[in-house]
Structure 1
Amino acid sequence: MKKHIFTLFLLFNSLVLLAQESYFPERNAVWEQKSSSDFKIDSEKLNAALDFAKDNEYSGSRDLRIAILKGFEREPFHEILGPTKKRGGPAGMILKHGYVIARWGDTKRVDMTFSVTKSFLSTTAGLALDQGLISSTKDKASDYIWDGTFGGEHNSKITWEHLLQQNSAWSGELWGGKDWADRPPREGDIDDWKFEKPKESGTFMEYNDVRVNVLAYALTHVWRKPLPQVLKEHVMDRIGASTTWRWHGYDHAWTEIDGLQMKSVTGGGHSGAGMFISTEDMARFGLLFLNDGKWKNEQIISQNWIQQAIKPSEPNVNYGYMWWLNRKGDRYWEGLSENIYYAAGFGGNFIVVDKENDMVIVTRWLEPNKIGEFMTKLKEALD
């Protein structure tokens, strides 16, 4: 009898937590905090996880210009083409039901965020789909962009989905960047790879910033306005983000639309540029996705888009529409929920969305190969 009563007690507590409404911080307001004990989280183990994040700072130079050139020195023709910024130290936030239960470092400092930018980029594609500017991600990009970017027998087959899943195998050059020179193979002669026939679109994922920048260029032409303006109007202002974030492109990446010169932004920062943003604004973005695209009572991004964005691609079970997925594959965090998904960037920048625990975790400048261990320590605090 006592066992049944205890079980009902646990079930009741779980239902109470599930029923609890998320907190959404107002713009420029102090983000409300709650104690970890309010959510039955082990404070000692939580502090151990935080200490781990602080003690495992990314080992690259804080001068990110140096870190970038060192990190990508194997790439032929690699150079800095856009803005960079010296970074701060380790920082992060952990949200539960929208409340801050932990933070460390300077969470208002604006830093580069590298490939976390890709998750912001894919969101502008989702907004285009929500508004009918793109009918389907299965559509060929060449049906929308006719200037030759998607010309030829190979590139004309590429769909929006291929671009979003990084399996387009787009072949060409954009803003001086050659697709074959981005992240060359570690073995073999690069000249052999340079002249290799492109793989069939949709069959093989290749992490490639040139092809990501092609997506940004194409979306700029679909929207007929700069993507930072799209993101600001449709997302960031509506979730109360600060006015400090910036989304840069390469210095020479200009295109003309409707007689106006517009900057085409990048989806990362491995040649400079990309998203420069604070930890707190990253946390707001994560909170929006945690709540299925809804902020308070306003549906900002459709739930349908988010479900598409976190669906595993066929070539890579760990990758959706520019979100990483914690599925059993090469990037699986052992022992953690397979429903976790996250944005990830060079230098240990992460936005982790944990739907099952109603949590968002943001880390800055955590040694990248330590994120799985950090998440495991956090899970121990929850257990």
Structure 2
Amino acid sequence: MENKTTILSLFLIFLFTLPFSAQESYFPPEGEWETKEATAYQLDFAEAIEFAQDNEYSESRDLRQAILKGFQSEPYHKILGPTKKRGGPAGIIIKNGYIVAEWGDTERVDMTFSVTKSFLSTTALLALQQNLITDVNDKAGNYLWDDTFEGPHNSKITWKHLLEQNSDWSGELWGSYDWADRPPSDKNIDEWRERELHEPGTYFKYNDVRVNVLAYSLLNVFRKPLPKVLKEEIMDPIGASTKWRWYGYKDSWTTIDGLKMQSVSGGGHSGGGMFINTRDMARFGLLFMNNGKWEGNQLISEELIKEAVQPSKANTNYGYMWWLNADGPRQWENIDENIFYAAGFGGNFIIVDQKNNLVIVTRWLQPSKIEEFMQILYKNI
């Protein structure tokens, strides 16, 4: 009897010294989401919420105008996909799966710009998981039938290079040229167009044309539209709404197996990309906070999630289209270095903190204020 009592005592000690997340894990059912007071976790987000509401993105709520102004320095830039007027500041904070703070209209569908890239990289993880792509270090050109990756430079590009945005892919896709996307201001068009290409894997360049090359390549691998892949494999299983949409451009269509399919864009730089509400963004973040598991179902392997948030050699603050708060030029001061996040034009963020079991989504926060917002939010964590 004494041995049984000792074993029970040791078990109880073990149980109550486990991280809180291991004792309590909540996954919101479709159309529902339980809330808890932040004070239940000795947390107070009032100051951070007030800060977010007081620091709205300063450009026009007419996002077509905001896009044209934001990228006016790019030669030949134009709107190629749909846009939508946005709402005001909104956000949500999830702790252990529960909503502990919320502001603005979190059910309004808005453009999310480059947050889309993290949804896109997720479809690449699914392709790896399903063995449609054998290895992330495989040459992408070996999986396509056309000349997308032909030539001495492009033929070297791997899936990993595309995911880490260090491929330096050169060419034209859907009427847009890689060299015309965010060109350096100290060079003229001819200098940038005729530049010497960097060896794939050695040079990071944020470039939507190359991201769209990844989307097109994955479409050819799956042989069905990426929004359908994401819906079936991720968004439906996590109970997302039916309101989100993922668009490409008016001319980004191709034919596969006799069917006309749209190749989606990885952002809203020229319109298109993911249109989604704050709550669905939070569900997506919650999946990653739980290392790809949703209520006992491993939708994405934990190994692939960990791989996706490893610093790349060319940019220590970037993984597979997730930004990392690791040591580097984009690190947020006094914020845990293990945090990773999706970020988009206009102040759209999905922030994942696995250490504290937090997911933070902000919409239309002045981008230059995100570090200060996080510092205020983390003051009592």
- The TM-score bracket by the shorter chain reads over 0.9
1:16–1:306 Cα change, 3 Å: closer
1:17 aligns with 2:16: no
The C-alpha deviation readout for 1:338-358, integer Å capped at 9, x for no partner, is 100000000000000001110
Q: How far apart, in 2, do the equivalents of 1:86 and 1:319 lie?
A: 30
8 Å CA contact 1:282, 1:351 repeated in 2? yes
Tell me which residue corresponds to 2:291: 292
Q: How far apart, in 2, do the equivalents of 1:14 and 1:62 lie?
A: 48
Tell me which residue corresponds to 1:6: none
8 Å CA contact 1:166, 1:212 repeated in 2? yes
8 Å CA contact 1:81, 1:251 repeated in 2? yes
Deviation of the 1:14 alpha carbon = 6.0
**Amino acid paired to 2:194:** F
Instruction: Describe the SS at the equivalent of 1:152.
Output: coil
Task: Give the one of 40, 43, 46 matched to 2:42.
Answer: 40
Instruction: Describe the SS at the equivalent of 2:152.
Output: helix
Tell me which residue corresponds to 2:280: 281
Within 5 Å, which residues of 2 pair with 1:138-217?
138-217=137-216
Tell me which residue corresponds to 1:342: 341
1:86 aligns with 2:89: no
The C-alpha deviation readout for 1:65-117, integer Å capped at 9, x for no partner, is 00000000000000000000000000000000000110000000000000000
Deviation of the 1:21 alpha carbon = 2.2
1:14–1:88 Cα change, 3 Å: farther
8 Å CA contact 2:21, 2:96 repeated in 1? no
Q: How far apart, in 2, do the equivalents of 1:369 and 1:300 lie?
A: 34
TM-score, reference length from structure 1: 0.95
Gaps of 5+ in 1: 1-10
**Amino acid paired to 1:70:** K
Within 5 Å, which residues of 2 pair with 1:63-142?
63-142=62-141
TM-score, reference length from structure 2: 0.95
Within 5 Å, which residues of 2 pair with 1:217-236?
217-236=216-235
The structure 1 segments of at least 4 consecutive aligned residues displaced by more than 4 Å after TM superposition are 11-14
Q: How far apart, in 2, do the equivalents of 1:73 and 1:342 lie?
A: 27
Q: How far apart, in 1, do the equivalents of 2:48 and 2:230 lie?
A: 33
Deviation of the 1:199 alpha carbon = 1.2
Q: How far apart, in 1, do the equivalents of 2:378 and 2:58 lie?
A: 25
Q: How far apart, in 1, do the equivalents of 2:301 and 2:370 lie?
A: 29
Q: How far apart, in 2, do the equivalents of 1:118 and 1:12 lie?
A: 39
Instruction: Describe the SS at the equivalent of 1:153.
Output: coil
Tell me which residue corresponds to 1:4: none
Q: How far apart, in 1, do the equivalents of 2:179 and 2:64 lie?
A: 23
8 Å CA contact 1:170, 1:211 repeated in 2? yes
8 Å CA contact 2:281, 2:361 repeated in 1? yes
Deviation of the 1:64 alpha carbon = 0.1
Tell me which residue corresponds to 2:368: 369
8 Å CA contact 1:138, 1:161 repeated in 2? yes
1:27 aligns with 2:30: yes
Tell me which residue corresponds to 2:322: 323
**Amino acid paired to 2:114:** S
Deviation of the 1:273 alpha carbon = 0.1
Q: How far apart, in 1, do the equivalents of 2:303 and 2:20 lie?
A: 25
1:60–1:13 Cα change, 3 Å: farther
**Amino acid paired to 2:227:** P
**Amino acid paired to 2:224:** K
Q: How far apart, in 2, do the equivalents of 1:14 and 1:365 lie?
A: 39
Q: How far apart, in 2, do the equivalents of 1:356 and 1:308 lie?
A: 17
The C-alpha deviation readout for 1:293-334, integer Å capped at 9, x for no partner, is 000010001111111100000000000000000011110001
Instruction: Describe the SS at the equivalent of 1:171.
Output: coil
Q: How far apart, in 2, do the equivalents of 1:344 and 1:313 lie?
A: 17
Q: How far apart, in 2, do the equivalents of 1:12 and 1:300 lie?
A: 27
8 Å CA contact 1:20, 1:97 repeated in 2? no
Q: How far apart, in 1, do the equivalents of 2:42 and 2:348 lie?
A: 27
Deviation of the 1:12 alpha carbon = 8.5
Q: How far apart, in 2, do the equivalents of 1:232 and 1:116 lie?
A: 17
The C-alpha deviation readout for 1:219-250, integer Å capped at 9, x for no partner, is 00000000000000000000000000000000
Q: Which moved more, 1:185-194 or 1:122-131?
A: 185-194
Q: How far apart, in 2, do the equivalents of 1:150 and 1:189 lie?
A: 26
